[in-house]
């Protein structure tokens, strides 16, 4: 039986290809028993709320893209701060982005909910430190 590092991980990215690659890398590294992929930050917020409401496994690790239509990664971070009971969950949020915009990188670095920035594409090496 595989020994997974985490019970549940969530990928939030609007790019189908990036999600395929990231999921494969997570699976190949036995990163999480359950990998959920959601392509919209708003749907991800609904999913997290639903997990809390129904007492389901909250994702222990979230990989979050920054540049997405309608709602970006920073908006997502602002929204989840307001979810009751989420702060106690100690979720690790990794920003997984191809953005090298210095303003983005500073905001990511300064954000209290973000554990670390990881440049795309996700790699086995990047997962080692998580």
CA distance 4 to 30: 5
pTM metric for this prediction: 0.94
| Record: fold of 6-128 | Rossmann fold (3.40.50)
Question: Is the Cα torsion angle 24, 25, 31, 37 positive or negative in sign?
Answer: negative
* pLDDT digit string (tens) for the chain, length 130 residues: 569 999 999 999 999 999 999 999 999 999 999 999 999 999 999 999 999 999 988 999 999 999 999 999 999 999 999 898 887 888 999 999 998 899 999 999 999 999 999 999 999 999 998 8
Q: Which residues partner with 62 through β-bridges?
A: 10, 93
Q: Which two tokens stand for residue 30?
A: 């036995």
């Amino acid at each position: 039986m595989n020994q997974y590092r985490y019970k549940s991980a969530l990928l939030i990215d609007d790019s189908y290809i990036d999600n395929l690659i990231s999921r494969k890398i997570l699976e190949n590294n036995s990163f999480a028993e359950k990998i959920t992929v959601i392509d919209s930050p708003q749907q991800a917020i609904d999913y997290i709320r639903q997990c809390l409401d129904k007492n389901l496994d909250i994702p222990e690790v979230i990989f979050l893209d920054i540049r997405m239509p309608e709602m970006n990664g920073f908006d997502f971070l602002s929204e989840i701060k307001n979810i009751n009971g989420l702060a106690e969950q100690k979720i690790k949020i990794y920003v997984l982005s191809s953005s090298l915009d210095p303003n983005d990188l500073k905001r990511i670095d300064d954000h209290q909910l973000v554990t670390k920035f990881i440049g795309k594409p996700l790699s086995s090496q990047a997962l080692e430190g998580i």
